[in-house]
Amino acid sequence: MFFRTGSLAFTPRIIRGFFAIGVALLCSGEIVAQNVSPSNPQLASPAIEQRVDDLLKKMTLEEKIGQLVQYNDAGFTEKANAAQLAANPDAHNQVNAMELAATGRLGSMLNTVGAEHTNTFQHAAVEKSRLHIPLLFGADVIHGFRTIYPQPLGLAATFDPDLVMALSHMSAEEATTAGVRGFYSPMVDISRDARWGRTTEGAGEDPYLGSAMARAYIRGYQGDDLSRPDSVAASVKHFAAYGAAEAGREYNTTDMSEIRLRQIYLPPYEAAVRAGSATVMSAFNALNGVPASANPFLLQKILRDEWGFNGFVVSDYTAVMELLNHGIALDAATATRKAFLAGVDVDMMSHFYDTQLPELIRSGQVPISAVDEAVRRVLRVKFALGLFEHPYARGTEVTAAVPEHRPLVRRAAAESFVLLQNRLSDSSTAVLPLSQQAHKIALIGPLADNSGEMMGAWGGANRLPDVVTVKDALEARAKQYGGSVIYAKGTEIIGTSEDGFVAALQAAKQADVVVMALGESGEMSGEAGSRASLDFPGNQEQLLEAVVSTGKPVVLLVFSGRPLVLTWAAQHVPTILEAWFPGTEAGSAIADVLYGDVSPSGKLPMSFPRAVGQEPLYYNQFPTGRPPFQADLTQPPGSSSRFVSRYIDVPNDALFPFGYGLSYTHFTYEKLGLSRSLLKLSETNRTGAEKLITATITVTNNGNRAATEVVQCYVRNLGASVEQPVRSLKGFSRVTLKPGESKQVSFDLGFSELSFYNEENQAVIEPTHYTVWVGGSSLATEEASFDVRQ
């Protein structure tokens, strides 16, 4: 309805059988690892298990398979699914979702939204089917349902998990009134390549930050009780390593060592699973040659055996069918068998499980015990959600942005903005915050008065009239101070016409200060939004250069779903604010920051490159045998400095690094201390090792206004059996300080912060030397060290 298809489907696959701690259970012919606790205790409830047992005994094979398929309300039609029909001839079999629901042959539906709409399908399932099993309605609610908050990459810039949890719960409150009880969210794929479009949906390049955000989403969506009517079942996606697509190209293959997989890419998924995520979505990509949706190493060994996942796994949109395109199956039956036995419980939109499983079962290629276990996983989630007691949409349907929710999304947007630059103007004062004496503001750019593009990708069920644009907010604020705004669009987001340049330059020349709103469209990021260029699209940079040439102070607002190349702007524009796609309260939040009501506190969750050729670019790189700091990089390429790990045409480092972000005040760091200088290896075992050493530092606000700083702790390990990154984030804390105020900030470092994966792919701590840095970015300079010895 209001959502793009292409994410997840809902029908469960709970972990191998009903877990009892320390007991191995037989599932689908495989043994679950011992001593692994179930990831979600609610799904392991004996009361729920008894209800599942009773219901399963009554189900026919057709009804069982029905729980393992997911469709939208359109079915497969030539108009709605041309791409799928072209790739999958079997999809020409028409699917009538209403008939399937009424006959007990449909378990869940995707992106079917709205109380009346969902209730109609639910009525068919609950009132007409033989066993009255309710449907689970899932939707791509990525960053808000009706009241839209910043896209996840922007939220990651807040470094504020509590805020993310509150926003996630808010979206669940709204969506459940429309019958939605499952979200295909959060996306926790680590992305180190800004070319990848789905960068916008995740938390960026760092596994520690990504894990913190993953936990926050799960706790916000699901709360502490799935049966609450305002809770939804989360689906962590895309499992696994989807964000490492080669060349940043959507749906492309991924290939990496198991050490890198476990140390960098898997932690956010694990964090979400251990936080209790009810479902997991398998990814489109192949990992090391095996498609993720037919990969028992991922779906069984890691997800279930090691992590104890006891929810269900749903494929991404037609991912089972796409096994044919991957080349690991020659027909629908083989694709179905490989996906199902690898661990995909629910087939989203491929139309394979319902057509192929019956014969696979009859022929003995798929054991009925495996089918029963997959159905159990789906039913457990439905019982846990309370769908059998309360199958219909709750309360009065939310059909517009909720006034009571606006303050929270406004705060979130303001916290997400990252002040990249705020140099002095000719008057020797920083351009921001704007003075109330700036009576004439020129507002220029294609995103200045563009409500639709404030949403970004996956904008939920938003209504454009609900959106506050930059123009709306600045005009209201300027009028409040007796000033005015001169607006000129200047150009289109994508275009080459310079017809609007004249009006834009005239506006700039009349103004005291110029605010330019440039960037991407929402469709340029998100799924299928990969880009080979990271520059401003169209002729926006030419417009920027022309306006800067007027000599007026310029504030550049960058709207994007990824890091862009801002090299020219960084050299010529005094003030740059990364605004991402802020959501419903975009303009209000921007006005709050521009006028100084809120001091920027956002920090970059991804490194911003100097040139697209640096991608993939990330701060936590591994060292090389010829590090560039050993050479004088000012020397020409032909000198002896050439033979180090460097580019000959651009510096190695990011233009704006991970964790970086300015404020309207100045923070200082001093007196970094460690609670110990030596750890014995025997102390570092897993049991009771949450706090091995504590780092403490004093942070002071040396400015003249209250502000919030994100204090960050980084660690490096030297002397290990496997080389480690030059530094890795291992802690962060948001600290609000009054002018002149100081606070001590501490970080506890335990096994999870100090361990790494060795050559046996085991998490270990070895006798090595550790360096700890604390500061306001990944360039933190306050340093201390300690050793681990036998």
Q: Is residue 531 over pLDDT 70?
A: yes
pLDDT of residue 76: 39
Q: Is residue 85 over pLDDT 90?
A: no
C-alpha 464: how far from its chain's center? 24
Q: Is residue 21 over pLDDT 80?
A: no
pLDDT of residue 167: 98
Among 780, 790, 484, which residue's Cα sits nearest to residue 659? 780
Half-sphere exposure of 543 (CA within 13 A, CB side): 36
Q: Is residue 12 over pLDDT 70?
A: no
Q: Is residue 676 over pLDDT 90?
A: yes
Across the chain, what does the average pLDDT equal?
92
pLDDT of residue 642: 77
**Pick the residue with more confidence: 648 or 445?**
445
pLDDT of residue 153: 98
Backbone angles phi and psi of 722, in degrees to 5: -130, 135
Among 746, 693, 755, which residue's Cα sits nearest to residue 728? 755
Among 383, 387, 394, which residue's Cα sits nearest to residue 42? 383
Percent above pLDDT 70 for the chain = 91
Q: In whole angstroms, give the CA distance from residue 367 to residue 632.
A: 66
Burial of 640 (0-12, 13-18, 19+ CB in 10 A): exposed
Find all residues with CB under 8 Å of 133, minimum gap 6, and list them.
Answer: 55, 63, 67, 104, 107, 125, 126, 379, 382, 388
Q: What is the DSSP string of 38-64?
A: -S-GGGG-HHHHHHHHHHHHH--HHHH
pLDDT of residue 1: 33
Among 302, 294, 245, 292, which residue's Cα sits nearest to residue 270? 302
**Two tokens, residue 137:** 């309605």
pLDDT of residue 437: 79
Query: Residue written as tokens 């690991």?
Result: 328
Confidence of residue 427 (pLDDT cuts 50, 70, 90): low
pLDDT of residue 628: 80
Average pLDDT (398-420) is 98
Among 215, 196, 195, 197, which residue's Cα sits nearest to residue 207? 215
Q: In whole angstroms, give the CA distance from residue 672 to residue 674.
A: 7
pLDDT of residue 639: 59
At 601 the three-state DSSP class reads coil
pLDDT of residue 637: 57
Contact between residue 164 and residue 715 where contact means Cβ atoms under 8 Å apart: no
Query: Residue written as tokens 């570092």?
Result: 684
Look up residue 134 and give its DSSP letter.
P
pLDDT of residue 428: 64
Angstrom CA distances, 130 to 72, 127, 736, 760, stand at 22, 8, 59, 52
Confidence of residue 439 (pLDDT cuts 50, 70, 90): confident
**Two tokens, residue 722:** 């496997």
Q: Is residue 557 over pLDDT 60?
A: yes
Contacts 24+ apart (CB under 8 A), 421-425: 421/570, 421/573, 421/574, 421/575, 421/576, 421/662, 422/574, 422/575, 422/662, 422/664, 423/574, 423/575, 424/574, 425/553, 425/574
Task: Report, in this order, helix, strand and coil percent for the chain, each rounded to 5.
Answer: 35, 20, 50
> Sheet of 667-674: strands edge to edge?
667-674, 693-701, 742-749
Q: What is the DSSP string of 83-100?
A: HHHHH-GGGGS---HHHH
| Residue 327, Ramachandran bin (φ over 0: left; ψ between -120 and 50: alpha; else beta) | left
Contact between residue 559 and residue 581 where contact means Cβ atoms under 8 Å apart: yes
Q: Which of 140, 160, 189, 316 is catalytic?
A: 316
C-alpha 535: how far from its chain's center? 23
Half-sphere exposure of 502 (CA within 13 A, CB side): 2
Q: Is residue 470 over pLDDT 80?
A: yes
Among 196, 182, 176, 148, which residue's Cα sits nearest to residue 454? 148
Among 784, 757, 782, 780, which residue's Cα sits nearest to residue 769? 784
Q: Is residue 773 over pLDDT 50?
A: yes
Contact between residue 676 and residue 691 where contact means Cβ atoms under 8 Å apart: no
Task: For the chain, give the number of residues.
Answer: 790
Mind listing the pLDDT tens digit for each residue in 580-634?
999 999 999 999 999 999 999 999 999 999 999 999 999 999 999 998 865 555 5
Active site residue 316: yes
